[in-house]
Amino acid sequence: MGFGVGKKPLSCQAFEDVANHGRDARVHVRHMTDSFCSRCNSNEMASSTAQIHVLGGIGLPSSRKPNHHSPTTVFFGQRVAKTSPLNAAFLRLAKTNNNGKRYNVGPVRVVNEKVVGIDLGTTNSAVAAMEGGKPTIVTNAEGQRTTPSVVAYTKSGDRLVGQIAKRQVVVNPENTFFSVKRFIGRKMSEVDEESKQVSYRVIRDENGNVKLDCPAIGKQFAAEEISAQVLRKLVDDASKFLNDKVTKAVVTVPAYLMIPKGQQQRMPVWVRGGTFDVSVLEVGDGVFEVLSTSGDTHLGGDDFDKRVVDWLAENFKRDEGIDLLKDKQALQRLTETAEKAKMELSSLTQANISLPFITATADGPKHIETTITRVKFEELCSDLLDRLKTPVENSLRDAKLSFKDIDEVILVGGSTRIPAVQELVRKMTGKEPNVTVNPDDVVALGAAVQAGVLSGDVSDIVLLDVTPLSIGLETLGGVMTKIVPRNTTLPTSKSEVFSTAADGQTSVEINVLQGEREFVRDNKSLGSFRLDGIPPAPHGVPQIEVKFDIDANGILSVTAVDKGTGKKQDITITGASTLPNDVVDRMVKEAEKFAKEDKERRDAIDTKNQADSVVYQTEKQLKELGDKVPGPVKEKVEAKLQELRDAISGGSTQGMKDAMAALNQEVMQLGQSLYNQPGAAGGAAGSAPGGETGPSDSSNKGPDGDVIDADFTDSK
């Protein structure tokens, strides 16, 4: 999380300087916003987070005398000359060379950087961007507001992402990856239950981390890799929608809600595909301060779906004696049907479930035809609903508030549409939940607002975030000593002084931990480092100050200093991934390789389609022209046509391109030979003045002999 500086209006002097310094340098400004100038009561142009690209970088000599008293200056703003009413913007970079001659660098282009907000969800993801000062959902390539967080690999090795991957999950369950966000940053020992809910194989690597097996291409993926592929599609779709390259994004942050001013306590409640989160916010005068946050990372919409899946499988096993949970295709069909039934029960009191041909035995095919009521669904999920209470109570306790102090409760996430969830919130808080915002869009919209804050497009909102879990270090006896308690407002800096545990100890190991348990083994290690060179002394004598700094973006820096010698060692922790740096670097390179391979594969498909079209059109043209084509010309065209057919059969992209180019040359000769034949329109038009005309010409002459009737088309 972070906050940025708002836009600053340009001074009128900048505009005057631009006009006075000449009009030969041009600047193209995109995504500019109007701002008010207090000096002359006029509207001027201001740019936020602009990047300046010099086009060509050629020095252009200027006739102005050099000014040795001022440094190189950059001005950008609205042109004040009356010759152009357009809101153009100009920039001049002036430098003086060794000969005292002044040079302009240009033309240059000022490009406003586009930053988007991405909600990387467990089930679905969304992208939003600031458009016209408002956060707007960016539709994907399929025209949808959300994109399924699903990646699949076909038997041929092709990668599918989004809706197209979700469509084929039933026929390709072992190579289709969904709900992978639940595995990010976790060890295999932490996800035993979750790994049984998916149709693909979840395995353990040599370090105990989670890997996802993909038999189609014989590779094992980290959950982060699959999520990165989803992010790549989201960014590519956003770039096409915005018609601008996107290089920066704010990914999945708590919702920012555009609420009227006034000091109020708000409680956003997130129930999403994989997690349940509760935050308590204080909102007033554009400042959004997170007072506390709590949640359950093993509780989400997928868990509600699983209760329906287990209920269906148990009933089928009782009636037919077959365990559908061991059949991956049947399990996937059960999962999809359970999700649909859950969604229907949000608006209906019962849902019909029909699964024909779910499996087959020696007696023939087996089917599932049943009905589930809302009451039965709530009964199956009663323990999950009870688990929702604890994070709500913890967040209020950490914020030192009670339910009567809460002014409004806001529900976020698709699973908050479940009537039982809304009723639980209603009973606990005594307030009617606010369901006016679209729970599927709100996180992405909030991320877009934060992106606007960071880029300078939004200047009237500030977010003050908190640490979700306590951070500390390991001390004697395997005890975790907390330095930064959970729900501490960011940015923050805290330090404590420690000493050695043994006589003559010359080094200490600093193990940085995150969590709420009392012992090291029950918490997560974020990283460790060693401080050496401590002078030998009795235990308890050396003084070692350990300082924890967390900036507004949540980046943690830990520094240990021996007060006696001044020796210092530190570590910076930017994320909680279980992947080492070399693995991350390898994944980045592989992602770039995949992007190149995808582009080459697309080029090959497009080229083949184009070649097939050229073959068809050429064959059709030869057939229509028939004997009108001279024999030698026809033979050359047919020879090149056969070369193109052979290239298509060979599958070489470059070969097809070369063959198409050669065929096009012969086809052009074919057209030229037709027009050069006697009696052709082209030949008549090209005859010498005074020459004889064919008999067809006389039929077009009018009564006066020099008027020709012709049809024409007015081209606008």
Instruction: Point out which residues pair with 293 in neighbouring strands.
Output: 279
Name every residue whose Cβ is closer than 8 Å to that of residue 613 and which is 6 or more positions away in sequence.
none
How far apart, in Å, are the Cα atoms of 396 and each of 295, 360, 482?
12, 53, 21
Q: What is the pLDDT of residue 356?
A: 93
- Kindly state which CATH superfamily the domain 115-250 is placed in: ATPase, nucleotide binding domain (3.30.420.40)
Residue 376: per-residue pLDDT: 95
pLDDT per position as a tens digit, 150-165: 999 998 888 999 999 9
The pLDDT of 214-241, averaged and rounded, is 91
**C-alpha distance across the termini of the chain, in Å:** 54
* For range 227-251, the mean pLDDT: 90
Domain boundaries, the chain: 12-112, 115-250, 258-299+388-436, 301-384, 471-579, 582-675
Amino acid at 25: A
pLDDT-based confidence at residue 145 (cuts at 50, 70, 90): very high
The DSSP secondary-structure symbol of 65 reads P
CB 388 within 8 A of CB 414: no
pLDDT digits (tens, 9 = 90+) for 245-299: 888 888 874 432 333 334 455 555 555 556 788 888 888 777 888 888 888 877 8
Other Cβ atoms within 10 Å of 613 Cβ, number: 11
CATH architecture of 301-384: Alpha-Beta Complex (3.90)
Alpha-carbon span 422 to 433, nearest angstrom: 7
Q: In 10 A of CB 62, how many CB atoms?
A: 19
Q: Is 577 exposed, middle or buried (0-12, 13-18, 19+ CB in 10 A)?
A: middle
**What's the CA gap between 466 and 491, in Å, rounded?**
8
**8 Å CB contact between 121 and 110:** no
pLDDT, residue 587, reads 63
Helix (H, G, I), strand (E, B) or coil at 406: coil
At how many degrees (to 10) do helices 301-320 and 328-344 cross? 120
User: 448, 117 in Cβ contact below 8 A?
Assistant: yes
List C-alpha distances in Å: 474 to 268, 487, 556: 34, 20, 16
The amino acid that residue 121 corresponds to is G
Strand order in the sheet with 276-284: 408-412, 264-271, 276-284, 287-296, 462-464
Q: What CATH architecture does domain 471-579 belong to?
A: Sandwich (2.60)
Q: Find the length of the chain.
A: 716
User: How many whole angstroms separate alpha carbon 523 and alpha carbon 118?
Assistant: 29
Burial 139-168 (b: 16+ CB within 10 A, else e): bbeeeebbbbbbbbbeeeeebbbbbebbee
Name residue 468's amino acid.
P
Contact criterion met (CB below 8 Å) for 138 and 127: yes
pLDDT tens-digit map of 439-483: 888 888 888 988 888 887 887 777 777 887 889 999 888 889 999
Q: Is pTM beyond 0.85 here?
A: no
SS (H, E, C) 235-292: HHHHHHHHCCCCCEEEECCCCCCCCCCCCEEEEEEEECCCCEEEEEEEEECCEEEEEE
Name the more confident of 493 and 7. 493
Q: Is the pLDDT reported for residue 642 higher than 80? A: yes
What pLDDT shows up at residue 216? 92
Q: What is the mean pLDDT of residues 64-82?
A: 37
pLDDT exceeding 70 applies to what percent of the chain?
A: 72
pLDDT tens-digit map of 159-192: 999 999 998 888 899 999 998 988 887 888 888 8
Residue pair 302/122 in contact (Cβ under 8 Å)? The answer is yes
According to CATH, the topology of domain 582-675 is: Substrate Binding Domain Of Dnak; Chain:A; Domain 2 (1.20.1270)
503 DSSP 8-state letter: T
Task: Let me know if the fold of 115-250 is the same as that of 258-299+388-436.
Answer: yes
Q: Is a pLDDT exceeding 50 seen at residue 406?
A: yes
Report the sign of the C-alpha dihedral through residues 688, 689, 692, 696, in that order: positive
Residue 371 has pLDDT above 90, yes or no: yes
For the chain, the average pLDDT equals 75
Residue partners of 677: CB distance under 8 A and separation at least 6: 628, 683
Instruction: Please provide the CATH number assigned to the domain covering 258-299+388-436.
Output: 3.30.420.40
Q: Which two tokens stand for residue 450?
A: 């934060």
Q: Helix 389-398 crosses helix 419-429 at what angle (to 10 degrees)?
A: 40
Q: How far is the C-alpha of 429 from the C-alpha of 409, rounded, in Å?
A: 8
Tokens of 475: 């001390």
Measured CA to CA, the distance from residue 34 to residue 27 in angstroms comes to 17
Tell me the C-alpha to C-alpha distance, in Å, between residue 648 and each of 6, 582, 599, 619, 665. 57, 42, 19, 15, 18
Three-state DSSP at 153 gives strand
Token representation of residue 6: 């708002």
- Sign of CA pseudo-dihedral 192, 194, 197, 199: negative
Which distant-in-sequence residues (6+ apart) come within 8 Å of 670 by Cβ?
621, 625, 629, 633, 634, 637
DSSP 19-64: HHT-S---B-EES-EEEEETTTTEEEEE-SSEEEEESS--EEE--S
**CB neighbours of 657 closer than 8 A, spacing ≥ 6?**
607
Look at residue 54 in the predicted model and tell me its pLDDT.
35
Using a pLDDT cut of 90, give the percent of the chain over it. 23
